[in-house]
Amino acid sequence: MKMYNKFHIRRFIRGGNAGVSIMFAIILPVLIATFSLGIDGSRFLIKRARLADALSQGSFAVASTNSNLTTEPEKIEGKELVKSYINYYIPSKELDESTLAVSANIDVDPDDSTKVNSIEYVATAKIIAHPIIDGISRALPGFNKNVPIIADENNGIVRKTIGGVNVESDIVFAVDFSGSMLTITENGKTRIGILREVVIDLATQIDSEKSKSKISIVPFDIAIPIKLEEKNEAGGDRIGCLMPYKLKSTYQIDYSFWANKKVDWKFSLLNDAEVSREEFVKRYLDLKRYDYYSKIISLALWFKDGVWGPPSKDYTQFCTTNTAYDSLVASGKLNSNPLSCEANELVSVTSSPNLAEIKNSYKVIEDYYISMEMNKYSGVVSSDFIDYSGTLSDSHLFNERAMSLFEAPFASISMGNLFKNACMSGFNINSKMGISIPAGHPSGTDDYYQVNLSSVRQNAYVIPLTNEKQEIAKINNMTPVFNASNAATDIISGLLYSAHEVVKGDNPRKIIVIVTDGATLDDMKKIESNFLASGICKKISDGILRKSSTTKEVKIFFVSIYNDQAVLSDWRKNCVGDDGAFIATDYSELKNVITDVLNQEPGGLKFINKSDMIVP
């Protein structure tokens, strides 16, 4: 057999066929390398393209998270996010994790260090690929079994342009709390419910971004409900009320003193010709406060948590001896009250400062009372009483003590409630007895006030500027007052106090958003028209800029959640301008409107080339 093989080999060589085989054997590695180069080269190009896509999509995802990558946890989270995209596009074992990097180049406005113009996100990484024919790297020089692949330098770069929403702002929502805000919309939600959702969404965004932006809620009906810490005589809450208007000098009064007084003496059958008019008024007020305590407070102290029972003390704990008491006078007549009663000494009719107030203001109060009786809805002040230019002056608008804060009494007009419908939304809606407060207020009858005084709780109230989500979420516990006989809206009071509140913030942008669903009525409409004619919005904006050195921009918006083009037109033309008036009747519309309000400067994300990057 060996001889046979040798014979055939000799014949193969002598026939010349060996030359071709030898040449083939020599060029075979080259052919294999060329094949590998063609196949693997295409594979590597595809991998680089996929790596570029992964880096670009990863950068875009990081930019969408609103992270600035300034802290170590943010950097780690950013890298993990980009890594997840790379793993989706390319097998994870090929990634060289030591080369994975994500960075953010923040461009700050050179004229305003608090304002970020844009952020550029850059993601880079390297993968290690392998040829299909692994042994080729050992057979030929220049071939390596580990092939590093890096995406083109223009990939993985995203520029995020910052809009106005990212400019840290002080945002005040002046919210209509009249009963019509409980109207059910087409999507089955109340109007106030829709607003709550949008405000909480915004608070969540501010909280997640760790932003310095702050939100305030200013509810209004007629005047502004303010939270007080003190308790009333029966243990219920005292409800604060703030009237933001400055009055003409002729009509300026002490609201705190007069708010709970029975002021119908002009039409009373009682009279005393032997004393001065102011002394008569003083004695009349003293008598009526005694009637209130002896008839209302005395029984209210017996009623606790829905149960009648003897109190630990009676109403006389709030009283002192009446020095003008005359035992010979028939009960119910002047000087027939043995006690002078008042829980709050500051508003007592017998204190010296208040005797001067009685003397100086009793004639004005008579005009107030007449105005209240003639005006069904307001009962606070007449449009003729207001000093319009004085109200918009810096010394009044931004002065903590200038605006009149008083207690809104839980009492009927007949018992003493001069400002009958003011701050109705400040009172709770449901008592423990299941009785609705203030559905019967301020016109309750029989024992309405006695049995409910201890159950009075604060409902709506001003939430000062804050970025604490849990504080802002307290709006969820506030409900507009549905009471058709007393419902009213005073938009101007909401705007005025919002200006007073927003100026307290330190952020460079101040925004006031008025949210209402109805037009003002009667005298409130006249007040609104007069303020709009006086240029209220511009004067407020200019005043905030003067008062706050940190403020760079002020903007006021009017959002109607009821399609009333006439009201919208008034505010657009006379106050907020074409870009400041909106109609939004459902959640989506309102969310979009609020987003537009807070995003006046266009922002967005886009891919850019390396040559377009801003040098840090």
- The DSSP code sequence of 496-540 is HHHHHHHTT--SSEEEEEEEESS---HHHHHHHHHHHHTTHHHHH
Contact 411, 442 (CB under 8 A): yes
pLDDT at 307: 76
Band (602; pLDDT cuts 50, 70, 90): very low
Instruction: State the Cα–Cα distance between residues 267 and 409, nearest whole angstrom.
Output: 22
Contact 226, 462 (CB under 8 A): yes
pLDDT at 133: 63
Instruction: Report, as an integer, the average pLDDT of 214-239.
Output: 94
Instruction: Report, as an integer, the average pLDDT of 132-140.
Output: 56
Burial 342-356 (b: 16+ CB within 10 A, else e): bbeeebbbbeeebee
Tell me which amino acid residue 4 is: Y
Residues contacting 182, CB < 8 A, separation 6+ = 190, 191, 192, 479, 480, 482
* Torsional sign, CA 530, 534, 536, 540: negative
Instruction: State the Cα–Cα distance between residues 342 and 290, nearest whole angstrom.
Output: 8
**Predicted structure pTM score:** 0.70
Residue with tokens 């301008």: 577
More confident residue, 498 or 489: 498
Summarize pLDDT for 386-426 with one digit per residue, the tens. 999 999 999 999 998 888 899 999 998 788 888 878 899 99
pLDDT at 198: 86
Instruction: State the Cα–Cα distance between residues 587 and 191, nearest whole angstrom.
Output: 9
Least confident of 263-267, 303-307, 527-531: 303-307
Burial 512-530 (b: 16+ CB within 10 A, else e): bbbbbbbbbbebbbbbbee
Tell me which amino acid residue 564 is: D
Contact 535, 491 (CB under 8 A): no
Ranges assigned E (strand) in 276-356: 303-304, 307-308, 319-321, 339-341
Question: Measured between alpha carbons, how far is residue 115 from residues 106, 140, 251, 507, 614 in Å?
Answer: 11, 59, 46, 10, 16
How many Cα neighbours within 13 Å face the side chain of 362? 20
Summarize pLDDT for 24-63 with one digit per residue, the tens. 566 656 555 555 655 766 777 788 888 888 888 888 888 8
More confident residue, 237 or 97: 237
Instruction: State the Cα–Cα distance between residues 491 and 498, nearest whole angstrom.
Output: 11
